Structure 1
Amino acid sequence: MLLGLGAISYAACVGALPLTFVNRYGLKSPLMQLVVRKLLPAPLFGLTSAFTVAMVRSPEFDNGIEVMDRNGTVIGVSKKAGEKAVMETALSRAVLFGTTFFLPEVLMYCVQRARLVKNPRALGPVRMFVIMSVLAGMLPASFSMFPQCGEIKRADLEQEILSSTEETEFFYNRGI
């Protein structure tokens, strides 16, 4: 509960930080407005998404996750496999939300520039359609970046696990 509250607070602060700088230092030029309002939110949102995954799944950093052999037999619990699983999931979330936040802005800029939508009131529904389309395309792409059943080499595991088996490749459930 505390980790979730921290991640939400962190995301809110990071989201408000650019506008705070703009207002505090009087950065009112059109270029700064473009950067702060259109370009900067995408990487910040991707970063906060990755951080949220890392915080919520931090027990896997501390305790590790189960590692299995080819037959699905649990060999032991590995912190290194837990770190790898959390990092892969955090990276896939950063790509998912960062791209979903950035690509619609670029596409809407092109739509407005080409004057494909004549009625200004229609821009809202077009923007929602573009966001939904990008999210629908990025969701399977993000989930398929790394396999659900991750693989970790023998050399990357702890000695306690290695002493109990002669296997060379181990597997773990990455989670979503």
Structure 2
Amino acid sequence: MALTLGRINVDEPLYDLSTFAGRFRYFAWMTDPRTVIVSNDRLLQAKTLVESYRVGKEPETTTQEQVKYAMKLYSSAFHPDTGELQNVTGRMSFQVPGGMLITGGMLAFYRTVPAVVLWQFINQSFNAIVNYTNRNANSPTTVTQLGVAYVSATTSALVAALGCKSYWSKRASPLFQRFVPFAAVAAANFVNIPLMRQNEIINGVEVKDENGNIVGHSRLAAIKGITQVVVSRITMAAPGMLILPFIMQRLEKIPAYRRIRWIDAPFQTAMVGCFLLFMVPTACAIFPQNCSLKTSTIKLLEADQYAEIESKTKGRVPQRVYFNKGL
């Protein structure tokens, strides 16, 4: 083999995920939007290289740089639970290009009801795909549940957007009316993500011991993970949607800018992209991907699930259990 010393452990991240800085570097690496344009054939080749390297059967000419890049492609495009190739729209690496186009549209076209309805519909369709793609795949969701989640989230977003627009158009300044899209996005996230992942809440998610052995299921773990994902998603959108309105309010007072108002949408879209380049890895890094929960909490609030853990571990219950919270 070409690499016999200092081999990379392809099952472990290249960065220290126990710290925020390490997680930020990892997610900046993993959500690199440039990976979106990589062909499926190249992604499958990367997966093959990772799998071959794991068992020491990679080509003799393989370098560590090639292995690291293959790990990057694999992490960006394949589901961590199933190893399946994710659809492009649902990947976290698509958050920057997809999010900036949709958020830019919501911020630029917020003045009329039809525009609000159209962009909220587009945004919730995008969110539904992202939430489904990045769910904990060990808890399958039915088509009916997906439909209910999608309709409920879209409805909540429209109610929030149109309600705020109606209320603020009469009582708030033009500046505050620009925050209508963020109110809708925040409201919809509180509905869309829990509904899209409701099976995890109903049946619990798989929890493991520190050695990666499955020891049971927990509904509390699902609730904790989903709550953290909701916070992360709102944090991801917040800076662009809350800071940009102040910038636009100032710009629109400049006579030279008013003469080129056609640039509104492209400019806001580009600005949102700049925010997301930083905020996507920041929001993903707030909480550890491999989340943990004390078994004493499970014992107190989920006696049935604790009994399952106790049975599978033959009474040697670990102090903490671990699970993938999703993204």
User: What range is the shorter-chain TM-score in?
Assistant: 0.7 to 0.9
Contact 1:41 1:101 in 2 (8 A): yes
Q: Is 1:139 the counterpart of 2:280 in the alignment?
A: yes
Contact 1:103 1:134 in 2 (8 A): no
Contact 1:50 1:93 in 2 (8 A): no
Equivalent position of 2:297 in the other structure: 156
The separation in 2 between residues aligned to 1:154 and 1:11, in whole angstroms, is 36
Which consecutive unaligned segments of at least 5 residues does structure 2 have? 1-146
Shift of the 33–53 alpha-carbon distance from structure 1 to 2, 3 Å rule, reads same
Equivalent residues in 2 for 1:63-74, closer than 5 Å: 63-74=203-214
Contact 1:46 1:96 in 2 (8 A): no
Q: Percent identity among equivalent residues?
A: 19
Q: Alpha-carbon deviation of 1:83?
A: 0.7
Q: Alpha-carbon deviation of 1:130?
A: 0.7
Contact 2:290 2:323 in 1 (8 A): yes
Aligned-residue RMSD, C-alpha: 2.5
The separation in 2 between residues aligned to 1:110 and 1:57, in whole angstroms, is 41
The separation in 2 between residues aligned to 1:12 and 1:170, in whole angstroms, is 39
Equivalent position of 1:126 in the other structure: 267
Which consecutive unaligned segments of at least 5 residues does structure 1 have? none
If asked which structure has higher relative contact order (CA below 8 Å, sep 6+), I would say 1
TM-score (ref. length: structure 2): 0.47
Q: Which of 91, 96, 100 in structure 1 is aligned with 2:231?
A: 91
Question: Which of structure 1's runs of 4+ aligned residues deviate more than 4 A?
Answer: 110-119
Q: Is 1:56 the counterpart of 2:202 in the alignment?
A: no
Q: Of Structure 1 and Structure 2, which has the larger fraction of its residues in strand?
A: 1
Q: Is 1:109 the counterpart of 2:249 in the alignment?
A: yes
The SS at the match of 2:210 is coil
Q: Which of 215, 228, 240 in structure 2 is aligned with 1:100?
A: 240
The separation in 1 between residues aligned to 2:258 and 2:152, in whole angstroms, is 44
**How many aligned positions are there?**
170
Q: Is 1:172 the counterpart of 2:323 in the alignment?
A: yes
Instruction: Out of 153-162 and 62-71, give the one that drifted further.
Output: 153-162
The separation in 1 between residues aligned to 2:284 and 2:256, in whole angstroms, is 33
